[in-house]
Structure 1
Amino acid sequence: MQDKPDLNAEERAVLDWIDTRADGMIDTVKAWSVINSGSRNADGLERMRACLEDAFAELGGETAAVELPPTTVVDPDGTVRQQDFTPSFHCRLRPQAPIRIVMTGHHDTVFPADSHFQSTELWDADTLNGPGVADMKGGILVMLHGLLGLERSPWKDEIGVDVLISPDEEIGSLGSGPVIAELGAGADIGMTYEPALADGSLAGARKGSGNWSLKVSGRAAHAGREHHLGRNALAAACQFGLGLDELNGRREGVTFNLARIDGGGPPNVVPDTAVARFNVRVQTENDRVWVEAELDRLVDEIRVRDGIAADLHGGFTRPPKPMTPANAKMFEWTRAAGSALGLDIRWQDTGGVCEGNNLWAAGCPNVDTLGVRGADIHSDREIVKLSSFAERAKLSALMLMKFARGEFDARQARALARTS
């Protein structure tokens, strides 16, 4: 490695050691990728959590399975039931250290157990295709090796870390959200390991997001003999969906996406149940208030239909994460560490959401795309750039060392967050 004025001998030694682990990271992500850990595949999620227990044992911290509270879901047939989650993985290092950092990630993927996308393929010398290789099993390995680098430094005792790796990020962190909030409230800063873009750019400001299911109930009847006795729940759900779509463009930066309507059956039966599912993205808390008022209005408009009942389930699970001075300071430090490594770190605002939103809601400034460089996530074209494993692990390790030395003042970021 070339000597750089911003790196001392101890830092260079740690970064050189990370280079020796690059091949191992790649072998591990290949092995982890073929474990299907779709958000609803409990067996696969538990297999992955066992892998995390083994991998993070190298840190020597205290590990635990964190039980998550259940949530309520609406099935396609309108049944409202409790949804359980498998546990999160938690690793704690030096809880009494003066600087507290929370590092988050997820071991679930968007690919269900019956997905056709279950294996890896090397597309070229630097490109691996496979489920979760970027989002975010690769990111977990970057996190781990950043921490392993810190453990080899003379400043490790200055930093205490809580690692939380959850099984439900891809479905909104409904179970892990309260745990993330608790850890974020007690930390100075946060570091989250969603993938960067293939060119290395990071996410800046993020919108807030919510998911809902509207259950509509009517009355079944024969469509010919007694059509007048029926109350069409599917028609009412369609009315709601059209009204929802018409809200697009009414407020800058706010989007409504009607994703699915379940309901109906034989054409000679008036459908008595329908379920409309939708997502909303907002830029500000004022947007959220406006959205909730509009949703109440739309639901009231279908409830006035004779014989129709409607119940709304869900809500905003990820508040907006704006580019406040505290979050801007985190990016400033990330860029400085990247510069010392010869990286040009850039970022751009996004409509996507992640655990970084939840950390910010708890008052914890954070950078949330510190994982591998990747592309086409959530599709069978998902790829990771293999050279980014060591590159991004060194970025995290260097940031952690500079936080430990006080060159980056984590408590300054937290103080800025309190005034945002």
Structure 2
Amino acid sequence: MRALKDLLHAKRKEMLQLLEQLVNIDSGSYTKKGIDEIGAILKKKFEDLNFLVTVIKQEKYGDHLVIQHREAMSPHILIVGHMDTVFSEGTAKKRPFKMVGPRAYGPGVIDMKGSLVELLYAIFCMKLTGQTGYKHIQIILNSDEEIGSPSSAALISEKAKDKKFALVLEPARADGSLVTARRGCGQFKVEVVGKSAHSGVEPEKGQSAIEELAHKILALHRLTDHQLGIGVNVGIIEGGVAVNTVAPHASALIDVRISKRNQAQFVFKQMKDICAQTFVAGTKTSLSGKMDRPPMEKTEKTTVLLEIIREAGEELGITITDTETGGGSDASFPSELGIATIDGLGPIGGHAHSEDEYLEIESLLERTLLLAILLEKLSRMN
């Protein structure tokens, strides 16, 4: 423990320099060049630690990385992180990395470039202090988490299916809590076709798609049940062609959140029933979309894993707490397979996805040490 702490503190400046380098590279989910640049930096650093890095090529998105030690045999610990951010190209130039007092700022600094630094240096310090737990892990660094992992979800599920533990490096909450439950999420689109007509001359000949959609929006919102953890939110609406024309078309984008797996079928059926109803005669409605991520439910296996993390925290003098959140992450995929999964193992920070995004600098060292100790513990539990 002492050797790990001393080594980490000696590497503090180096860790922050790497964090600055990564933050100052634009890597929005659709900025393939930037994501691949980050991937190349990390690939070289992991290879220097004698890890084998497999690049999973992508055309539309950045390439994914699958990483494990060259001496690893049937690793039973999966670590998942992502290299993409929500920010558009040019953001890093406008708001480059900076440190002010105890905090670091910049696009993606907490979600999740700080976690990438944490992971690398946890393994680096384990290796230099004679520990071997890193030989029991497999790492996936994907490029499209912020947009629902369309090209990496199957990869994560495939690699997770033979694992005992899954550790996901999304940032810890602002109070330091880990995440043991997340709501599942999906996006849907309702499209209504009506018939146009001049609203002053012959409105009776029209069939308003906007009016039809308005009825449906009210019905869709009534599906929300906060006690059950179900949320249905119409976030974007479009429609019509002119203010003096009965709208011939209208559409709505809907965000759906669920807390239990069995809620997905129920909510989808209710949405279909609403869309099958006709409030304005002659209009036609279609529903498309899907659930992107299943919910991450807190299970007995998760609780056991949480206790192991708490033990690791106690060794460091850290009280580990946990919470649930409505946001989605890649933790849902191993969790769905029944794997013991804990999220929020990254550094502490806040205001993710905004201009004020920050990372608590000392937490970068603290959580790196916590991850190193945890990996060593879990490596003995195959």
TM-score for the superposition, normalised by structure 1: 0.83
Counterpart CA distance in 1 for 2:302 and 2:133 is 25
How much identity, in percent, do the aligned residues show? 28
SS in 2 for 1:234: helix
- What is the rounded CA distance, in whole Å, between the counterparts of 2:207 and 2:343 in structure 1? 48
Task: Say which of 243, 253, 260 aligns to 1:267.
Answer: 243
Q: For residue 187 of structure 2, what is the amino acid of its counterpart? A: N
The reply to whether residue 308 of structure 1 matches residue 298 of structure 2 is: no
Q: Aligned in 2, Cα 1:322/1:34: closer, same or farther, shift over 3 Å? A: same
Equivalent residue letter for 2:270: E
Q: Deviations over 1:265-297 (max 9, x none)?
A: 322344433331121221212322221111111
Amino acid in the other structure paired with 2:180: G
The aligned counterpart of 2:254 is: 278
CA contact (8 A) 1:182 1:362 kept: no
SS at match of 1:293: helix
Partner of 1:376: 351
Q: Could you list the per-position Cα deviations for residues 239-273 of structure 1 after superposition, in whole angstroms to 9, with x for gaps in the alignment?
A: 32221112223862211121111333322344433
Determine the C-alpha separation between the residues in 2 that align with 1:114 and 1:260.
26
Q: Deviations over 1:358-383 (max 9, x none)?
A: 11012221211111110111221111
Alpha-carbon offset, residue 63 of structure 1: 1.6
Q: What does residue 168 of structure 1 align with?
A: 144
TM-score by length of 2: 0.90
Distance 1:395 1:186, change over 3 A: same
Deviations 1:52-74 (A, max 9, x none): 323333332222222459xxxxx
Change (3 A) 1:108 1:310: farther
CA distance, structure 1, for counterparts of residue 51 and residue 226 of structure 2 = 50
State the 4+ residue runs in structure 1 displaced beyond 6 angstroms: none
Mean Cα displacement is larger for which, 41-50 or 377-386?
A: 41-50
Alignment of 1:287-366 (within 5 A): 287-302=263-278, 305-366=280-341
The partner residue of 2:217 within 241, 245, 250 is 241
Shift of 1:224: 4.4
Match of 1:123 among 84, 97, 100: 100
Letter in 2 for 1:379: S
Consecutive unaligned residues of structure 1, counting only runs of 5 or more, are 1-10, 70-83, 412-420
SS at match of 1:389: helix
After superposition, the C-alpha distances for 1:115-140 in whole angstroms (9 at most, x for unaligned) are: 5963233231x111211110101011
Q: Which residue of 2 aligns with 1:64?
A: 54
Distance apart, 1:199 and its partner CA: 3.0
Distance 2:156 2:220 in 1: 31
Partner of 1:199 in structure 2? 175
Q: State which drifts further: 265-274 or 102-111.
A: 265-274
Distance 1:164 1:130 in 2: 24
Work out the CA distance in 2 between the residues paired with 1:343 and 1:250.
32
Q: Distance in 1 between matches of 2:200 and 2:338?
A: 59
| Residues 230 and 150 (structure 1), Cα distance of their counterparts in 2 relative to 1, 3 Å cut | farther
Is the contact between residue 75 and residue 138 of structure 2 (CA under 8 Å) also seen in structure 1?
no
TM-aligned CA distance change 1:14 to 1:316, over 3 Å: same
Matched, 1:34 2:24: yes
Three-state SS of the structure 2 residue aligned to 1:268 is coil
Q: Partners in 2 of 1:214 and 1:68 — Cα distance?
A: 30
SS in 2 for 1:203: strand
Distance apart, 1:104 and its partner CA: 0.7
Give the stretch that moved more between structures: 311-320 or 342-351: 311-320
Aligned residue pair count: 381
Unaligned runs of 5+ in 2: none
State the Cα deviation string for residues 328-386 of structure 1 (Å, max 9, x = none).
Answer: 11111111111111211111222222111111012221211111110111221111011
User: Which residue in the other structure is 1:400 paired with?
Assistant: 375
Q: Please name the residue that 2:116 is paired with.
A: 140
